Homo-oligomer: A and B are copies of this chain.
């Protein structure tokens, strides 16, 4: 088993429903700012809308942190438009709903379920160079908490800006960090 940490997002082509329009999305869109890519199993299902809503409720914070949010399912962008129009929860989303009927994204991010053609619940924090910094994948029955994703995003941003520091366990924005030094080795 290898993993995706510190690897670049592979090239892909997809279409998203965003801001009332269909727009193309590629790996290039994930560069130049921080991105949070959130896979959901399928449109119109049970706890997916609650997760989209959770993300929508915190979208202002993601934006403040300079990060874009992408929801991805293996549905088409046509389905995503209808989902956005018909689901009260999903209708709150102001970020792109990316359709992945070719399975390029689910395969590239390692969240494809072969026997269902759907995605696992995967969340990825990606830096402005398009490099994956955190991976989180759940069995589909177990939903995520977007506040933890926010915490990871901020920790990732902090250490990116302060390369000589590391965030200790459960670090939250504003808390103290650790500056690794020879003296600390074997002393904490």
- A residues with a Cβ closer than 8 A to B are 1-6, 13, 20-22, 42-47, 49-51, 53-54, 74-76, 78-79, 81-83, 85-89, 100-103, 107-112, 114-118, 120, 122, 133-148, 151-152, 155-156, 159, 166-171, 178, 180, 182, 184-188
Greatest chain B CB density within 10 A among A4, A117, A140 is at A117
Pairwise interchain contact A79-B81, C-beta atoms closer than 8 A: no
At the interface, is chain A mostly helix, strand, loop or mixed? loop
The 3 residue pairs across chains A and B that have the minimum distance between CB atoms: A101-B117, A1-B110, A102-B117
State how many angstroms separate the Cβ of A133 from the closest Cβ of chain B: 5
Copies of this subunit = 10
Give the docked Cα–Cα distance between A54 and B20 (Å): 30
Given A42-B78, A89-B188, do A47 and B102 touch, yes or no (CB 8 Å)?
Answer: no
